[in-house]
Amino acid sequence: MALREVNLIPAEVLHQKYVIRHLFLWAGSLVLLLGLIFGFYQYQRHAVLLKNRPKTTLEDMHIQLGATIAEIKISQQEIEQLSQQDAFLKTLNTNQPFSEVLLKLSDIINAQTWLTRLTITSTPENEAVASGIQLYGYSLSNDHVGIFLNRLSEDPLFHNVVLRYAREAQAQVIQSPQDSKAQLKVIQFQIDCDTPRVNSNMKAG
């Protein structure tokens, strides 16, 4: 004798449970899919988009630009100072020491001639004659001025020696410590010449 299963639950109830079970299954799948999409969107927003988004605002860019310009100006000033120092050092290396000019003048000048002022004027480096010298002073006679002028012309340190003027003048001299200053007729002169470049413009009295 064969046994047969008999379902006592109505077919409508079974069909309803079947539909409800499938609805939950599809709803769960849909929620899971939406969760994955939302999670991927959040990842794109916080990870990828933030990397590509500018980190600084326009105001920050202006501040950074101002700081960069200030640094550039400081660097330019430092470069300019270094250039000036380099030019000064080159001038020192190429200039004729002023002490040599004074030493040579002390050897050339005679006892009857003395200087009251010495002016040295530097000229641009690219000229052949670098410095001009103006000698102002007095001498007891025109002959002594001529001797001093000839010695200057013969010395290789001085070039283009020119007597600008030589005229009679009055000068105060002290003949001895006990005597007061006395007026003496002398020859006042100015002599111009050139010499290799010296360190700076100087005056000596």
Summarize the confidence of residues 34-63 as an average pLDDT.
Answer: 73
What is the rounded CA–CA span in Å between residue 186 and residue 137? Answer: 10
User: In this predicted structure, what is the pLDDT of residue 199?
Assistant: 46
Nearest by Cα to 165 from 127, 185, 139: 139
User: In this predicted structure, what is the pLDDT of residue 205?
Assistant: 42
The answer to whether the CB of 137 falls within 8 A of the CB of 167 is: no
Q: Which residue has the tokens 């002398």?
A: 186
The answer to whether the CB of 120 falls within 8 A of the CB of 201 is: yes
Q: In what order do the strands lie in the sheet with 131-139?
A: 159-174, 181-195, 131-139, 113-122, 202-204
Residue scoring higher pLDDT (43 or 105): 105
User: In this predicted structure, what is the pLDDT of residue 163?
Assistant: 92
Burial class from Cβ neighbours inside 10 Å (0-12, 13-18, 19+) for residue 17 reads exposed
Q: What percentage of the chain's residues is helix, strand, coil (to nearest 5)?
A: 50, 25, 25
CA distances from residue 102 to 92, 106, 133, 164 in whole angstroms, order as listed? 17, 6, 11, 21
Q: Model's pTM, two decimal places?
A: 0.46
What is the rounded CA–CA span in Å between residue 193 and residue 134? Answer: 7
Q: By mean pLDDT, which of 3-12, 110-119, 159-168 is the weakest?
A: 3-12
What is the rounded CA–CA span in Å between residue 34 and residue 47? Answer: 20
Which two structure tokens, joined as six digits, stand for 112? Answer: 């009857």
Q: What's the chain's length in residues? A: 205
Which two structure tokens, joined as six digits, stand for 72? Answer: 């550039």
Which two structure tokens, joined as six digits, stand for 73? Answer: 């100006």
H-run or E-run covering 129: none
pLDDT over 80 (residue 186)? yes
pLDDT over 80 (residue 173)? no
Residue scoring higher pLDDT (139 or 184): 139
